[in-house]
Amino acid sequence: MSVPSQLVQLHPSDNVAIARQPIAANTQLDQLTTTSEIPAGHKVALIAFAPGDRILKFGQLIGLASQPIAPSEHIHSHNMVAPTHDGHTSHTVISTEASPTNTVISTEGEAQRSRSGEIPVFSDSHPVTSAHPDHFLGYLRPNGRVGTRNYIGILTTVNCSATVAKRIAAHFTPERLAEFPNISGVVALTHSTGCGMAGEGEAADVLRRTTAGYADHPNFADVLLLGLGCEQNQASNIVSLTTRENVRSTTIQAEGGTRAAIERGIKEIEAMLPAANAIQRTPQPLSKLIIGLQCGGSDAWSGVTANPALGLAMDTLIAADGSAILSETPEIFGAEHLLTARATSTISRALLARIAWWQAYTERHGNVLDNNPSPGNKAGGLTTILEKSLGAVAKAGSTPLREVLEYAQPVTQHGLIFMDSPGYDPVSATGQIASGANLICFTTGRGSVFGAKPVPSIKLATTSGLFRRMNEDMDINCGTILDGTETLPQVAARIFETVIATASGKLTHSEELGFGEEEFQPWIMSAVL
């Protein structure tokens, strides 16, 4: 059957389509008549379903009918459920041999078909080939890594030193730093743990690895590590993990209390300023860029516009020997076969081991991974974790998966990297930065306002409506793909160009708005003792 113009069918094998705009009940859609109101981005049945029938989107299984569903009926949480574990792991690939007769989003003026087992991108899926800079302007560090910003950081070992760290940073106002124009700022990154926890084990390792990753980060010209003095998470445990020479550290107790520690901290930062300001941006190869890929406040258009466009831009970066980090393990659940299909058996096993860990972890806490879609995700048209994951994985583009890391482990390979993390954006992005990401690309359909210091965060809106509504927060509008005014490769080219400009110093909206300190959120895995 042909698909009405009010709907979008993403793949010729799909038996659902997506409403471009809100559709009222009893609306005639060619051969279909809607039986209820269909919100924008939500699914409409193209055929009749019996209970247990497979529901297909992106040419993939996203759920099962939980009750009879008539053609043109709204499909969502009230009549669709996630498959069982057995259904989830089968990953039957849907054939794409039949010629499409439906209307799809096309960037070439005709329907595009994805290859079997891939997220459709509705265009040629090769890297963008138009002329781009082959370098960016960055801060070369003594160890060969390159920063996109030039901050001085105050890192804390424990929550007990958080207030003192913030007081030290507050001294360095824009007026005080005016004579040091090459310094991006002085930032205190604090957290809520560091004591009341076991001194050894996985939780302690993760916190120390995260803090050490920030201490080593190329976006910091220098750092001060501040503790209380008696905590489980001693500064010496972190310093031993860093590669930065002469990490400065002190404790409030050793300095004699709050005022003395603030005075000492200010003195230490003042001593860092001249050398940090002397560092200049110089041309650097794209191989020095490591992009953290995030999506938050996702909607049904995330997997149609922003995520595929970002994935195509990352294919271009990786072709230039750059790297991209995909994370949020609970949000690839159900789509992991798209990653293992382009990985070695060793890397595939490592990825599947992390998913198995998450299944055991959620079960231990009386939860299931399909609880992941948030109320906002569901309001935006996403129903199951499979549907959400299929769209989220599109951020990863189409290149081979080169490495699987645990949370905050340092990147050692070039290309597409997977780092294990929760789906909670601040925790996931914190881990990516600790692993080495020097820039974040963050897609959003509902409207996230995330930012991350010391790393710039580019926000990509999935629709033009969101871009207009939250224009002060969004950096790139990917909704032009849905509007039909730009092709997916054209949007991918804009993303790539924005990445280069941002890495070279252009401020993102989240930087202009001052985001980034509170968003430092290491993964807390331990019991509070």
- At 361-376, the pLDDT tens digits run 888 888 877 666 788 8
Q: What sign has the CA pseudo-torsion 477, 385, 105, 94?
A: positive
Question: 494 with 374, same domain?
Answer: yes
pLDDT at 88: 41
185 and 45 in a common domain: no
Same domain, 472 and 489: yes
- Considering the domain architecture, whether residues 291 and 200 belong to the same structural domain is answered as no
Q: Does 373 map to a domain?
A: yes
Three-class DSSP category at 456: coil
- pLDDT per position as a tens digit, 221-232: 999 999 999 999
How high is the pLDDT of residue 433? Answer: 98
Please report the sign of the dihedral spanned by the C-alpha atoms of residue 227, residue 233, residue 236, residue 238: negative
Residue 259 has φ and ψ, to the nearest 5°, of -60, -40
| Judgement on whether residues 196 and 290 belong to the same structural domain of the protein | no
Q: Which helix (H) or strand (E) holds 16?
A: strand 16-19
CATH number at 236 reads 3.40.50
Question: CB of 154 within 8 A of CB of 252?
Answer: no
Of the candidates 278, 311, 339, which is a domain's last residue? 278
With 0.85 as the threshold, say if the pTM is over it. yes
The predicted structure's pLDDT at residue 35: 87
pLDDT at residue 108 tops 80? no
The confidence score (pLDDT) of residue 373 equals 78
- Whether 358 maps to a domain, the answer reads yes
Domain-located, residue 253? yes
Q: Name the token pair of 483.
A: 């509007």
pLDDT at res. 133: 80
In tens, the pLDDT along 254-309 reads 999 999 999 999 999 999 999 999 999 999 999 999 999 999 999 999 999 999 99
Q: Is residue 307 part of a domain?
A: yes
Mean pLDDT score, 498-525: 97
- DSSP code string of 368-398: -GGG-S-HHHHHTT--SHHHHHHHHGGGGTT
Query: Residue 135: beta bridge partners?
Result: 285
DSSP-based helix, strand, coil % in the chain, nearest 5: 30, 20, 50
Q: Which of 255, 278, 301 is the last residue of a domain?
A: 278
Place of tokens 């998913």: 355
| Angstrom distance (rounded) from CA 370 to CA 61 | 14
- Is residue 522 domain-resident? no
Q: How many CB atoms lie within 10 A of CB 509?
A: 18
pLDDT in tens, 469-488: 999 999 999 999 999 999 99
Last residue of a domain, one of 249, 278, 307: 278
> What percentage of residues in the chain have a pLDDT greater than 90?
82
Query: Coil, helix or strand for 452?
Result: strand
The parent domain of residue 62 ranges over: 7-90
Strands of the sheet with 323-326, listed across from one edge: 401-405, 415-419, 323-326, 290-295, 439-444, 457-461, 476-477
Query: Domain for residue 159, yes or no?
Result: yes
CATH number at residue 77: 2.30.130.110
Residues 360 and 487 in one domain: yes
> pLDDT category, 91, cuts 50, 70, 90?
very low
Same domain flag for 301 and 402:
yes
Q: Do 440 and 356 share a domain, yes or no?
A: yes
Q: What is each CA distance from 53 to 47, 61, 382, 384, in whole angstroms? A: 11, 10, 18, 15
- Say if residue 322 is in the same domain as residue 441: yes
Mean pLDDT of the chain: 90
CA distance 407 to 202: 11
- Residue 361 included in any domain: yes
Residue at 351 is within a domain: yes
Pure H helices in 130-229: 162-170, 202-215
Torsion region of 500: left, alpha or beta (phi above 0 gives left; psi -120 to 50 gives alpha): alpha
Residues 231 and 306 in one domain: no
Question: What total of structural domains would you count in the chain?
Answer: 3
**Cα–Cα distance, 54 to 383 (Å, whole number):** 14
361 φ/ψ angles, rounded to the nearest 5 degrees: -65, -50
Q: Are residues 486 and 502 in the same domain?
A: yes
pLDDT attached to residue 374: 84
| Residues 58-83, mean pLDDT to the nearest whole number | 94
228 and 301 belong to one structural domain? no
Nearest one of 219, 194, 118, 206 to 422, comparing CA atoms: 206
